[in-house]
Amino acid sequence: MQALPDEDRDFEHGPDEELVAFLERDQLVCDRARPLPRASLSRRAEIGLWALRVFALVVSAMVIYTFVHQLVA
């Protein structure tokens, strides 16, 4: 496997990246730094994502509690 030149190391050349491969570095950074608009999701998807956030917080709290409890015991 041969090493890629410095300018090609930051991204892969796939079918969607063909035109991006010919941009200069400052054009590439400018294009990738542009924020995207918020995705429009259904009410059901938003509720599902909020449920996942709450679940992640609860599980994180449980893991931290278990870790601290094992240190103390």
| pLDDT tens string 18-67 | 666 676 777 777 767 778 899 999 999 999 999 999 999 999 999 999 99
Distances (CA, A) of 16 to 21, 27, 33, 56: 10, 17, 18, 33
pLDDT of residue 19: 67
- What's the confidence (pLDDT) of residue 1? 45
* Closest among 10, 39, 15 to 26, alpha carbons compared: 10
Q: Provide the whole-model pTM.
A: 0.53
